[in-house]
Amino acid sequence: LGDRNHIKCVKLKTLGDVFGANAEIKLTIPVGKLFTYELMRETFQNDFEPLSKLYAGRLYDDPMVFKCNKQNYPDLPEWLRLTQRHPYDNGFLYGTPTSPGKNIIEIYAVNKRSYETARHILVIKVVAEKMLPYQAEFFIKLREVEKVLPSSVQDEIKQDIQNLWNTQAVEIVNITNALDRGGRVPLPVAGHFEGVYVKAGSIDYFSECLLMVMTPEHQKQCTGEAGLKVKTPGGCNFCSIPSNCITWCKTELFDLTEQEPAPPAPTMSSGILEAGGDFDPPESPPSRDFLPDYIVTVIVPLILAIILCLLLAYIMYGRREGVAKRNARTNQIQLYHHHTIHENTDELRNMAGNRGAPPPLSTLPMFNSRTLDRAPPLHSDSPSIPLIMAQHDPYSETLPR
Ligand SMILES: *[C@@H]1O[C@H](CO)[C@@H](O)[C@H](O)[C@H]1NC(C)=O
């Protein structure tokens, strides 16, 4: 732990707790400044295999996943965040406390090899301190939050900001992953990063360089897409390491001394209503004529329904062709064929109905089925004699000749 952030760190171990499984770490931090705490995998590794190093001489490097919450609560306090990119990376607790108080944080490490867990307790005492009056936020495009949180990188960034601000009295106030501020997840391609917002504060007023952000030219330059390509102006470019360079157009200044005074507190009255006149009930509304509404909603649809009914009835019944017309249009042979099928069916039905039915007429020698006239006995098998005698048959007139 560096002594940056004015952290007073005391590591306590209870007497019976030889291996540090219940290690309690106490920190005191001020309101309004960035707090970073690195969850070292090495420390927890000692909790999992405390004696292996001593006796077996083995050193493990297990993958670990960290889970943190406020004691007796499901989650961390609002201002505190946990991040760990990969089980083989250290985790970070970071955030900026906004109000004084005591936070007891439980840190669980789950060993992904043996599925053992270890618990540490972190007691964070937040003490009140005046906010830094001048703050500025910078966007670092080529960084990810885990890469910025180690204190060495924070110091590099702070140095650049100190140069830009032209003062040594610069503190980092907040670091935020751009994804938490509506940024997009980058493509998994080299050269694409999530981006990090770094907010710094100082008791000294903004430098000339920073004040350029407020000029109308800057605002004109930075509108739209073009703004992302604008270079930091000449004498203000202090970034020594390319990945720490800021996106000039996303720089924002906050002057907390300029804040409007809080609105005046509401004036309290005696709590008793002033005397007024008697209650005057409103008059009943004028009567309305509902007939037009009735006509529109009931009569008109009814008339329409009746008209539709009549139309449908005419189409369904009034325009039917009728059997006679259909027969007249049908090919006569087809019609005759149809009739014979019907007659033969009837005949077979009759025969099935009762035993004493006369034998079918068609089994008899040649006859006319309608007139029941027997044909004169034929003595010839000549094919020229028709099977059906047509003279008296009313249907035969329709046969093609
Ligand atoms: C730090 O940044 C986060 C995310 O933008 C924000 O929610 C939080 O209020 C900030 N804290 C302070 C003290 O500005």
Per-residue pLDDT of 221-238, as tens digits, reads: 888 777 677 788 878 888
Q: Is the pLDDT of residue 392 over 90?
A: no
CA 135 to ligand 1 centroid distance, Å: 13
Q: Tokens 């006369």 identify what position?
A: 358
Report pLDDT digits (tens) over 57-88.
Answer: 777 788 999 999 999 999 999 999 999 999 99
pLDDT tens digits, 322-348: 788 888 888 888 999 999 999 989 888
What is residue 20's predicted lDDT score, i.e. its pLDDT?
45
pLDDT of residue 354: 78
List all residues whose CB is within 6 A of at least one atom of ligand 1.
Answer: 32, 96, 98, 174, 176, 180-181
131 in Cβ contact with 169 (< 8 Å): no
Res 3: pLDDT: 44
> Where is average pLDDT lowest: 205-209, 282-286, 312-316, 369-373?
369-373
Nearest CA among 145, 148, 107 for reference residue 124: 107
**How many angstroms separate the alpha carbon of residue 179 from the centre of ligand 1?**
13
Return d(Cα 398, Cα 332) in angstroms, integer. 6
Q: What residues does 122 pair with on adjacent strands?
A: 25, 105
Q: What angle do CA 67, 124, 7 make, to 5 degrees?
A: 115
Model confidence pLDDT, tens digit, residues 30-56: 999 999 999 999 888 888 876 666 676
Structure tokens at 142: 């080529």
| pLDDT, tens digit (0-9, with 9 covering 90-100), for 82-109 | 999 999 999 999 999 999 999 999 999 9
Q: Is the per-residue pLDDT at 310 higher than 70?
A: yes
Range 250-289 burial, b when 16+ CB lie within 10 A, else e: bbeebeeeeeeeeeeeeeeeeeeeeeeeeeeeeeeeeeee
pLDDT score of 275 more than 90: no
Dist. CA 187 → ligand 1 center (Å): 26
> What average pLDDT score do residues 309-321 get?
87
Nearest alpha carbon, ligand 1 atom 11:
96
Q: How many A from CA of 372 to the centre of ligand 1?
A: 113
Task: Dump pLDDT digits (tens) for 149-191.
Answer: 999 999 999 999 999 999 999 999 999 999 999 888 888 888 8
DSSP secondary structure, 294-361, as one string: HIIIIIHHHHHHHHHHHHHHIIIIIT---HHHHHHHS-HHHHHHHHHHHHHHHHHHHHHH-TTPPPPG
Q: What does the pLDDT read at residue 13?
A: 37
Backbone angles phi, psi at 175, to 5 degrees: -130, 130
CA of 97 to the centre of ligand 1 (A): 9
- Domains, the chain, ordered by start: 4-127 (2.60.40.10), 134-258 (no CATH), 292-349 (no CATH)
254-282 mean pLDDT: 82
Q: Which pair of tokens denotes residue 14?
A: 């209870």
CA 379 to centroid of ligand 1, rounded, Å = 123
Mutational pocket test of ligand 1: of 29, 174, 179, 199, the residue with most ligand atoms within 8 Å of the beta carbon: 174
Coil, helix or strand at residue 178: helix
The protein residue whose alpha carbon is closest to atom 7 in ligand 1 is 79
Averaged pLDDT of the chain = 83
Q: With CA atoms as reference, report the closest residue to 7 among 152, 184, 125, 133.
A: 125
pLDDT at 257: 87
Question: Is the full-model pTM beyond 0.75?
Answer: no
- Output the CA 174–ligand 1 centroid distance in Å: 6
2-16 in b/e form (b: 16+ CB < 10 A) is: eeebebeeeeeeeee
Q: Which residue has the higher pLDDT, 242 or 269?
A: 242
Looking at ligand 1, which atom is closest to the CA of residue 97?
13
Higher pLDDT, 55 or 197: 197
pLDDT at 364: 64
For position 191, what pLDDT does the model report? 85
- pLDDT tens sequence across 116-137: 999 999 999 999 999 899 999 9
Site to substitute for ligand 1 among 5, 79, 181, most atoms within 8 A of C-beta: 79
Distance 293 CA to ligand 1 centre (A): 60
Out of 34, 134, 176, 259, mutate this one to test ligand 1's pocket (max ligand atoms within 8 Å of CB): namely 176
Rounded to the nearest whole angstrom, what is the distance from the C-alpha of residue 359 to the centroid of ligand 1?
109
pLDDT of residue 9: 38
Ligand 1 atom at minimum distance from 181 CA: 5
The mean pLDDT of 266-283, rounded to a whole number, is 82
Q: Which residue is closest in CA terms to ligand 1's atom 3?
A: 176
Atom 1 of ligand 1, nearest CA residue: 174
